[in-house]
């Protein structure tokens, strides 16, 4: 099945816009990307410039680019939505009648994947300019077979997104002296799923400018965009610039008419609607690794991180493996909101609803947990030994057996799909929420089972207490922002494995670390009597000092 047919099918029951990856570009952003392309482009002489938009939509990007170039061009484009393509063709022809339009109903990737010896559109000549807002379609929507095909073709690994393949496909058809501008999700710059695509762009193009447009809400959809401006491999190699903009509560230093105007100047810009944004300018750093995380580097940031590194003994990864909580794939059966009977296999459950810094609220949920360890190996329990639990599970057998993948994996029909290790639950655990504005880490000493809406870590108890103090500090907020350079809306951060495992730890034998451990233990006990803001403040100061830094307001 072609990509055209696949998208037309709407990927089953997924909403139409989501399945198509449709996120049409607002005119202001289209003008910005077009302007940056033209500012550095080396246009051909003696012939029309060849322009590609691999996902035309309603033509907004092409219109913006042509408004800065004029009509003496050849436009090539693909679009899988016939109505959108018809509108784009009409708009482009009306605004630029002298432009040569070669727009096709179909998928750009279908043509890249096929061996077109004559080149796209029957020509071996590559494209002078590419402008694109490729579709955002995740693996689980496009289907495993298609994801696997794209991964093999483009050398992608991990959770493949359709736009990763678009990016690498475009890199293969950009002229060596050409210029391109791409709009992507800013997640692309930091997630493991984007690593192979980042490496492909670094190896296949000369990156020029990167803009992390953060939580500016330029799109109606919940997209945090980034813009990449790049040239072909024949262009001179330079260090790419990097600009980021994120909403801030700090006092403004100047005003700007809109977020795209604000990025011209560093500092805190206030917009007419009352929002304030912090703008930072620097260069792109990936740690010397083509697949590495893209982050903003500047003299001040590098000096700060060097001080942290000099005072770092290890990272959270050195304590143990960070895991997500259990995944039942049948929550209504295994962990309903209330139980109407007593069952032998019920265990206390930690969820984000009981989240609290340092010490959680008492658990108010239970999970039916049919697993134990025998001779060091995880196994499903023998239900014959637990008659009440067996009777309950039998009532829901049809639902549980409906999870065919459990049976196909050689598992018992009543098992939790991802139970983790039963032996780990009684041990002290550092548990934390995924998404929050302020880091929310706590110590679990109650032996609870951790639900899949939280992450957890177990290991040496003293190191866990030390990690607890570091993780809940304003220092780690600053470290997160400078090391990973990634936020969601309203200043929220994602505390996921690939970030948290890199959080630094001071020398656990140092006096500073020992003080943090003692203070965290004392705070844990004191919180039972109520909030302890002064004790939290003291621990915060200890953490900053342990890394050789003065306390900063975050």
User: Per the domain annotation, does 366 fall within a domain?
Assistant: yes
Q: For position 136, which CATH number holds?
A: 3.40.50.150
pLDDT at 116 (0 to 100): 47
Quick one: 223 and 366 in the same domain? no
Residue 408 or 111, more confident: 408
pLDDT at 122 (0 to 100): 58
Residue 210: pLDDT over 70: yes
Quick one: 208 and 357 in the same domain? no
Sequence-ordered list of residues with C-beta below 8 angstroms from that of 281, at least 6 positions apart, any chain: 241, 242, 243, 266, 298
Least confident of 160-164, 250-254, 283-287, 452-456: 160-164
Look up the domain containing 207 and give its range.
3-237
pLDDT at 145 (0 to 100): 67
Residue 297: pLDDT over 70: yes
pLDDT at 121 (0 to 100): 60
Residue 379: pLDDT over 60: yes
User: Per the domain annotation, does 221 fall within a domain?
Assistant: yes
Least confident of 344-348, 434-438, 489-493: 489-493
Residue 314 or 162, more confident: 314
What pairing do the DSSP bridges indicate for beta strands 504-505 and 314-315?
Answer: antiparallel
pLDDT at 9 (0 to 100): 35
The candidate with the shortest Cα–Cα distance to 448, out of 470, 428, 463, 465, is 428
Residue 59: pLDDT over 90: yes
pLDDT at 437 (0 to 100): 82
The pLDDT of 406-426, averaged and rounded, is 95
207, 237, 267 — which closes off a domain? 237
pLDDT at 228 (0 to 100): 97
How far is the C-alpha of 343 from the C-alpha of 354, rounded, in Å? 23
Quick one: 345 and 232 in the same domain? no
Quick one: 329 and 228 in the same domain? no
The pLDDT of 487-491, averaged and rounded, is 69
Residue 19: pLDDT over 70: no
Least confident of 36-40, 60-64, 139-143, 394-398: 139-143
User: Per the domain annotation, does 465 fall within a domain?
Assistant: yes
Quick one: 197 and 59 in the same domain? yes
Quick one: 376 and 516 in the same domain? yes
pLDDT bin (cut points 50, 70, 90) of residue 484 is confident
Q: What is the DSSP-derived secondary structure letter of residue 509?
A: T
pLDDT at 8 (0 to 100): 33
Average pLDDT, the chain: 88
User: Per the domain annotation, does 387 fall within a domain?
Assistant: yes
pLDDT at 222 (0 to 100): 65
Full 3-state SS string of 47-97: CCEEEEECCCCCCHHHHHHHHHHCCCEEEEEEECCHHHHHHHHHHHHHHCC
192, 218, 237 — which closes off a domain? 237
Residue 10: pLDDT over 60: no
How far is the C-alpha of 324 from the C-alpha of 159, rounded, in Å? 17
Quick one: 377 and 501 in the same domain? yes
User: Per the domain annotation, does 141 fall within a domain?
Assistant: yes
Q: In what helix (H) or strand (E) does residue 523 lie, and over which residues does it extend?
A: helix 511-526
pLDDT at 493 (0 to 100): 86
Sequence-ordered list of residues with C-beta below 8 angstroms from that of 145, at least 6 positions apart, any chain: none
pLDDT at 163 (0 to 100): 79
pLDDT at 486 (0 to 100): 72
pLDDT 10s digits, 248-291: 888 999 999 999 999 999 999 999 999 999 999 999 999 899 99
Residue 17: pLDDT over 80: no
User: Per the domain annotation, does 248 fall within a domain?
Assistant: no
Residue 480: pLDDT over 50: yes
pLDDT 10s digits, 118-132: 456 656 679 999 999
The pLDDT of 293-309, averaged and rounded, is 93
pLDDT at 119 (0 to 100): 54
The pLDDT of 509-524, averaged and rounded, is 98
pLDDT bin (cut points 50, 70, 90) of residue 371 is very high
Quick one: 329 and 200 in the same domain? no
pLDDT at 46 (0 to 100): 86
237, 254, 274 — which closes off a domain? 237
pLDDT bin (cut points 50, 70, 90) of residue 144 is low
Q: In what helix (H) or strand (E) does residue 469 lie, and over which residues does it extend?
A: helix 461-471
Quick one: 448 and 333 in the same domain? yes
Residue 294: pLDDT over 70: yes
pLDDT 10s digits, 66-79: 999 977 899 999 99
Residue 141: pLDDT over 50: no
The pLDDT of 334-338, averaged and rounded, is 94
Per-position DSSP letters for 347-372, written without gaps between them: EEEE-GGG--SBSPPPP-EEEE--EE
Residue 321: pLDDT over 60: yes
pLDDT at 146 (0 to 100): 64
How far is the C-alpha of 285 from the C-alpha of 239, rounded, in Å? 9
Q: How many domains does the chain have?
A: 2
- The model's pTM is 0.78
- The sign of the torsion formed by the CA atoms of 113, 118, 122, 124 equals positive
Least confident of 157-171, 433-447, 493-507, 528-542: 157-171
Quick one: 232 and 135 in the same domain? yes
């Amino acid at each position: 099945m072609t990509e055209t047919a696949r998208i037309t099918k709407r990927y089953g029951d997924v909403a139409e816009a989501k399945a198509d990856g449709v996120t049409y570009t607002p005119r202001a952003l289209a003008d910005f990307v077009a302007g940056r392309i033209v500012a550095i482009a080396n246009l051909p002489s003696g012939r029309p410039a060849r322009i590609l938009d691999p996902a035309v939509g309603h033509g907004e990007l092409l219109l913006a680019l042509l408004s800065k170039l004029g009509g003496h061009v050849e436009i090539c484009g693909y679009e899988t939505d016939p109505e959108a393509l018809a509108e784009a063709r009409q708009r482009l022809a009306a605004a630029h009648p002298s432009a040569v339009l070669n727009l096709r109903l179909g998928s750009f990737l279908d043509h890249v994947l096929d061996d077109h010896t004559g080149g796209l559109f029957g020509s071996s000549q590559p494209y002078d300019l590419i402008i694109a807002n490729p579709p955002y379609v995740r693996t689980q929507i496009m289907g495993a077979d298609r994801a696997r095909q794209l991964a093999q073709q483009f050398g992608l690994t991990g959770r493949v997104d359709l736009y990763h393949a678009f990016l690498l496909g475009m890199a293969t058809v950009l002229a060596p002296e050409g210029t391109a501008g791409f709009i992507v999700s800013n997640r692309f710059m930091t997630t493991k799923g984007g690593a192979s695509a980042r490496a492909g762009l670094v190896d296949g193009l000369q990156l020029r400018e990167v803009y992390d447009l953060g939580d500016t809400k330029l799109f109606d959809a919940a997209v945090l965009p980034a813009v990449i401006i790049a040239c072909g491999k024949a262009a001179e190699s330079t260090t790419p610039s990097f600009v980021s903009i994120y909403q801030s509560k700090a006092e403004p230093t100047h005003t700007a008419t809109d977020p795209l105007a604000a990025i011209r100047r560093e500092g805190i810009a206030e917009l007419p609607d009352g929002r304030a944004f912090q703008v930072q300018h620097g260069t792109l750093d990936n740690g010397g690794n083509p697949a590495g995380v893209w982050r903003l580097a500047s003299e001040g940031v590098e000096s700060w991180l060097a001080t942290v590194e000099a005072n770092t003994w290890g990272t959270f990864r050195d304590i143990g493996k960070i895991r997500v909580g259990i995944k039942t794939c049948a929550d209504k059966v295994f962990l309903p909101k209330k139980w109407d009977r007593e069952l032998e296999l019920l265990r206390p459950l930690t969820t984000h609803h009981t989240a609290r810094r340092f010490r959680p609220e008492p658990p108010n949920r239970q999970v039916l947990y049919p697993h134990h360890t025998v001779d060091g190996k995880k196994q499903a329990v023998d239900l014959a030994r637990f008659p009440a639990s067996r009777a309950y599970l039998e009532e829901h057998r049809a639902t549980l057996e409906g999870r065919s993948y459990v049976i196909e994996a050689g598992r018992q029909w009543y098992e939790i799909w991802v139970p983790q290790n039963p032996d780990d639950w009684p041990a002290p655990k550092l548990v934390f929420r995924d998404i929050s504005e302020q880091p929310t880490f706590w110590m679990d000493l109650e032996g609870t089972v951790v639900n899949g809406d939280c992450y957890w870590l177990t290991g040496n108890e003293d190191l866990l207490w030390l990690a607890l103090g570091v993780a809940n500090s304003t220092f780690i907020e600053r470290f997160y922002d400078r090391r990973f350079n990634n936020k969601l809306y309203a200043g929220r951060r994602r505390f996921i494995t690939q970030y948290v495992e890199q959080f630094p730890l001071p020398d656990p034998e140092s006096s500073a670390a020992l003080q943090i451990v003692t203070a965290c233990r004392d705070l844990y006990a004191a919180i039972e009597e109520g909030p302890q803001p002064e004790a939290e403040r003291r621990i915060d100061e200890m953490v900053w000092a342990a890394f050789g830094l003065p306390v900063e307001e975050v």
